[in-house]
Chain A
Amino acid sequence: MSGATSAIGNILIGGIFHAAVLFLVAAGLQLVFGVQKIVNLACGSFYALGAYFAITFVNLALNAGLPGWALLPLLLIAGLLMAAVGPPIERLLRAVYDRDESFQLLLTFALVLMFQDVFRFVWGANPRSLDNVHLIYGKWAVGDFSVPFYNLMVIGAALIAACLIGLFLKRTNFGRLLRATAENRAMAEALGVNVRAVYAAVFTLGTLLGTIGGALVVPTAAASLDMAVEFVIEAFAVVVIGGLGSMPGALAGALLVGLIRAGSLVVYPEFEILAIYLIVIGVLLLKPTGLFGKTAA
């Protein structure tokens, strides 16, 4: 394989890997917005929480003598455990469900501030990382192009998550209740849907997607205090591009943002984030419901 094609391969794989993680977090944002109509700024903090905790958890487990190949299951478990912060936070948000959306936004902003100091307190101000443990799964190499198998596994995991979410929303009874609540809360409530339970479940699921996303990314990138506020903005861009509340939109938006980031990093680094915001603004102005949103939002 020539140098040019391997460079393109690297951009593609790097972009899709980034997109996979973005999709997980953005899907959480979409679920919570779609059903609860809350823009959850704290979803980036859940992502960071998953990342930090996964480092501690994996290091503990590996030191306790678990084999290196257990990494992926360990990361998933770490993400699952941290989703436990979802229900108490949902309980807190209940106080503002009937209020103006600016209050809801601000309450999640308060969570962002608080989480940032929790990370500082527990894990310190310096970036933390797992040193290359993910290379245990080996690399897939063609010529001078190589990619760790771990990255491919994460991409696979995100695809599986996308399918599971789709099946859950379309095929299960609870998924139907959830979509009914998203469509018309008052009517769903009148027909006997336990909206409280739906909200608690949706928020916890949204939290879980965020923490899992953070846990999966941490073998390849360091966890730092800035990651929460940086990532939430990217996830927000994904959601806007794809259309608020739309799952296929989240998938398409994540791919677009991931590939543009990876591509412009190589071609023209100044353009990296700039390109994403230009697209966000363009989408908002031309089709504010996003590429996959409903026309009457």
Chain B
Amino acid sequence: MTRGSALLLVAIATVALGLVPMLAPPFYANLLVPFYGYAIALLGFNLLFGYAGLLSFGHALFLGIGAYAAAVIAGVWGIKEFEVVLVGAALAGLAAALPLGWLAVRYTGIFFGMLTLAFGMLAHSILFKFYHLTGGDSGMRVPRMRLLGLEFAAYNKIELLAGPFYYYCLTLSVLAAFLMWRIVRSPFGLHQRSLRDNAQKACYLGVRVRQFRLAAFTISGIYGAIGGAILGFRIGLADPELVYWTHSGHLVFMSVLGGYSNFLGPVVGALAMTLLQDQLQSFTQYWRFVLGAILALVVIFLPRGLAGLACDVGVAVGRRWAPSAAGSRDSA
């Protein structure tokens, strides 16, 4: 697939997503709001997993940080501007990612995964046990907020989510994706890939291994916190389940489902997961089983995920068309 056709596809997909609130019932726009939260979080997660080659099994920690930051800023402090909440969530993500990342990036592979898992579970037990601070298992309420200073008083919560907030999140996701695209295409992104493929060689060539990994960890933490703030706004609640290790597992699941070797793969995975989960839930109460089976099948048969599959199909179709086009040019 050429760069132009890929850009065209992304533009078409963005326009299609932008049409959802106008053409479909509010239910679908409302359903897609968490998708934007996950999409932003996974764009960051994949900088770490897909580009830097570090599999974090506690990344839901940052989603939790974002959601709890929203609960504290808007709920406890009463600052109901969503922009302030986003900045606050990003700062909280940064503040958590720097020390945790500093400790975690000393390891790679399974030790990195275990350390991040332990950080996530530590955060979970703090949120769960310190009831007077965090509300324990019932969590903290995230109130309704103003967007760009506008109250949208005429809208009820569903209408707000399916209308203004939907476009807000769509815009935010496009911005986040564009920024991440610039990051992974920069020399910084190349450094990350070199560290993933051969850290020893990169180190020998003068790449400062830990600093670069820490930077990737921090950026992914900030993206995670912003995604978490969106989730918090949507659910209206920040609770410890957000940081539980199975939620981290779901983040990895979505990345692999979409294909972590592709820039937009995790976004595709988040979309597929959101729609799939909704369909399965309406169809059977045993949706986890089906989800698990799909994950197993993807892991075994589609290691490059849905995006990889789409690329393969695209290439195959292209090949089928290309020779005949060339042939007709020859005969002409």
Is the C-beta of A183 less than 8 angstroms from some C-beta in chain B?
Answer: no
Looking at the assembled complex, report how far the CB atom of B99 sits from the nearest CB atom of chain A, in whole angstroms.
12
Interface size class on chain B is: 35 or more
Mark out the residues of chain B between 272 and 314 whose CB falls within 8 Å of any chain A CB in the assembled complex.
Answer: 285-289, 291-293, 295-296, 299-300, 303
Distance in angstroms from B289 CB to nearest chain A CB is: 4
Q: Sample 30 A-B pairs with CB under 8 A, ordered by A number.
A: A92-B300, A95-B300, A96-B300, A99-B303, A103-B256, A106-B256, A106-B295, A109-B249, A110-B292, A111-B292, A111-B296, A113-B289, A113-B295, A117-B286, A121-B289, A229-B245, A233-B117, A236-B117, A269-B129, A271-B129, A274-B122, A274-B125, A274-B126, A277-B121, A278-B122, A281-B115, A281-B122, A284-B115, A288-B107, A288-B111
Q: Give the residues in chain B near A272, CB-CB below 8 Å.
A: 125, 129
Q: Are B293 and A110 in contact (CB under 8 A)?
A: yes
Closest 10 CB pairs of A and B: A113-B292, A114-B292, A117-B289, A110-B295, A277-B122, A110-B296, A273-B125, A117-B286, A110-B292, A270-B129
Q: From residue 77 to 117 of chain A, which have CB atoms closer than 8 A to chain B?
A: 92, 95-96, 99, 101-103, 105-107, 109-114, 116-117
B35 to chain A, nearest CB (A): 20
Q: Which residue of B lies closest to A239 (CB)?
A: B114
Q: In this assembly, does A7 line the interface, its C-beta being within 8 Å of a C-beta of chain B? A: no
Say yes or no for B57: interface residue by CB 8 A criterion. yes
- In the complex formed, the residue of B with least CB distance to A274 is B125
* B253 and A116 within 8 A (CB): no
B119 at the interface (CB under 8 A from A): yes
Q: Given contacts A113-B289, A113-B292, A288-B111, is CB(A277)–CB(B57) below 8 Å? A: no
Distance of A237 Cα from B253 Cα, bound (Å): 23
Chain B residues, CB < 8 A from A106:
249, 252-253, 256, 295, 299
CB-based contact A103/B245 at 8 Å:
no
Given the known interface contacts A117-B289, A281-B115, the answer about A39 and B110 at a Cβ–Cβ threshold of 8 Å is yes
A163 interface residue per 8 A CB criterion: no
The binding surface of chain B is classed by DSSP as helix
A residues in contact with B126, CB < 8 Å? 274
Per-residue CB proximity of B73-101 to A under 8 Å, as 1/0?
00000000000000000000000000000
Give the Cβ gap from A113 to chain B, nearest Cβ, in Å.
3
Residues in chain A near residue B111, CB distance under 8 A: 284, 288
Q: Name 19 extra pairs, CB < 8 A, besides A106-B295, A109-B252.
A: A96-B299, A101-B55, A103-B256, A103-B303, A107-B296, A110-B292, A110-B295, A112-B292, A113-B292, A114-B296, A116-B288, A117-B288, A271-B129, A274-B126, A274-B129, A281-B119, A284-B115, A285-B106, A288-B111
